[in-house]
Structure formats: C-alpha cells, structure tokens
Amino acid sequence: MARLRRSKAGSWGGEARDARRPYLKRRKAWEKAVRNFFKNWHEDGWIYVFFDGFFEGNAIFKLGKTTNLCRRMLQWNFDCPNPGRIWLEAFWAPNAIRTEALLHIALEEFCEQRPRFMCNCKSADISLPVS
C-alpha cells in the first residue's frame, strides 16, 4: 500500500493531506445523515468490517455495504488479495446505504486521520487508520 498524495479532495498532486473533514463539517454531515435516514428508504443489506493490515504504524479498517455478502467477500479477496485481511464483523442492516454513511461518519471521529491509499490492487481507497 502506498499513500496517495492529494492537495485537496478531488485533485491529485502536491503534498499528502488528511482527507478527514473538519469537525464542523463532520457534525453537519452527521446531522444530515440522521435527518435523512428515514427519507428515501433504500434497500436493506449487509454492513461488513475487515482489518486490512498495518500502514505506517496504523491499523487499517475498511467498512462497506453489500446485498450479497459471500459475493462481496470473494470480490475483495480476488480483486485485492491480502493474506493479512481479517473479516471482523458483518450484520444485516435496514437502509444499508444510510447506515453505512452514519457508520463512516462515526468512525471518522475515532480515526487518527483519513488518508487515501493506493491499495495492492492499484485502486484508490479511503481507509480508516486507527492507532
């Protein structure tokens, strides 16, 4: 894994910067996600969390959503193989898209930073490093 360098969200190049939003933006995003949770109901699905190893001394956790958990696990293991990956948790959730959004905002509060990484499969990814 290599850290991608982004000067600001949406542009490449320059120095590496933390992609974590400032506190007030996180707070506003949380309030909006809570307000919209019961509006425009989307399909239920699985929320999954896995540990994806260490990078620069931080543990990397990834959180996502899917309607077919077995297929998604196979996709991750085939498209982006990592022998150190440990699947930690998966649970069925109502309104999975909004549930995942709320969980990402909540985890952003606890992570040290939210950098972008170039994964082993060469796809850009935002991960949640926690020390």
Residue 87 lies in a domain: yes
**In the 3-class helix/strand/coil scheme, how is 11-30 assigned residue by residue?**
ECCCCCCCCCCCHHHHHHHH
Tell me which amino acid residue 104 is. H
The domain in which residue 58 lies consists of 2-6+32-130
Q: How many domains does the chain have?
A: 1
Residue 24 lies in a domain: no
Residue 37 lies in a domain: yes
Residue 67 lies in a domain: yes
SS3 state at 128: strand
The pLDDT of residue 13 is 40
Q: What is the DSSP string of 53-99?
A: EEETTEEEEEEEEES-HHHHHHHHHHHS--TT-EEEEEEEESSHHHH
The pLDDT of residue 119 is 66
The pLDDT of residue 57 is 74
Tens of each residue's pLDDT in the chain, 131 residues: 444 444 344 434 433 446 677 888 888 988 988 888 888 777 899 999 998 888 777 778 888 999 999 999 999 989 888 888 999 999 999 889 889 988 888 888 777 666 566 666 655 455 555 54
* Predicted structure pTM score: 0.71
The pLDDT of residue 18 is 60
The pLDDT of residue 5 is 42
